[in-house]
């Protein structure tokens, strides 16, 4: 069974850092494009960033709102995806989901349950 489990969320002050993890099971992470998507309280979903598969050199892409502050990475040995978040702002407060791309169909067919990040002083 395919499963994604996020962890690492919590409370952090503005300007602080946090690293989120997404542990994958049931499939090989390196074979898939993976994304982070967030949802601020009471708001819609927002795409955050992408890590392409091994064949694409694990290249990354980011939303303008997080570019230069957030970094997506992977650890193939742990079958895990990460989101390093630096210089956090109040507007980064959200539930962060990792999601598996549906192999070139421009959709995400597997999502984790999310982890809540709260940025506040």
Among 36, 70, 82, 108, binds another protein (CB under 8 A): 108
Instruction: CB nearer to another protein: give 57 or 105.
Output: 105
Cβ pair 97, 110 in contact under 8 A: no
Task: Determine if 23 is a binding residue for another protein (CB under 8 A).
Answer: no
- List b or e across 87-117, with b for residues whose CB sees 16 or more CB atoms inside 10 angstroms: ebeeebbbbbbbbbbeeeeeebebebebbeb
Which range of residues in 8-16, 42-50, 52-60, 85-93 is near another protein by CB under 8 A? 42-50
Residues in the chain: 121
Residues in contact with another protein, counted by CB under 8 A, come to a total of 22
Comparing CA positions, the residue from 34, 28, 25, 15 lying closest to residue 86 is: 15
Segment lying near another protein (by CB under 8 A), choices 8-16, 38-46, 69-77, 86-94: 38-46
Q: Judged by CB, which is closer to another protein: 68, or 121?
A: 68
């Amino acid at each position: 069974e395919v499963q994604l489990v996020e962890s690492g969320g919590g409370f952090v002050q503005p300007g602080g850092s946090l690293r989120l993890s997404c542990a994958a099971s049931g499939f090989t992470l390196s074979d898939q494009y993976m994304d982070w998507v967030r949802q601020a309280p009471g708001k819609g979903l927002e795409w955050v960033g992408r890590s392409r598969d091994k064949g694409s050199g694990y290249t990354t892409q980011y939303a303008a709102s997080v570019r230069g502050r957030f970094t997506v990475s992977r650890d193939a040995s742990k079958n895990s995806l990460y989101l390093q978040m630096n210089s956090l702002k109040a507007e980064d407060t959200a539930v962060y989901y990792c999601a598996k791309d549906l192999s070139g169909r421009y959709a995400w067919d597997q999502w984790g349950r999310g982890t809540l990040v709260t940025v506040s002083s």
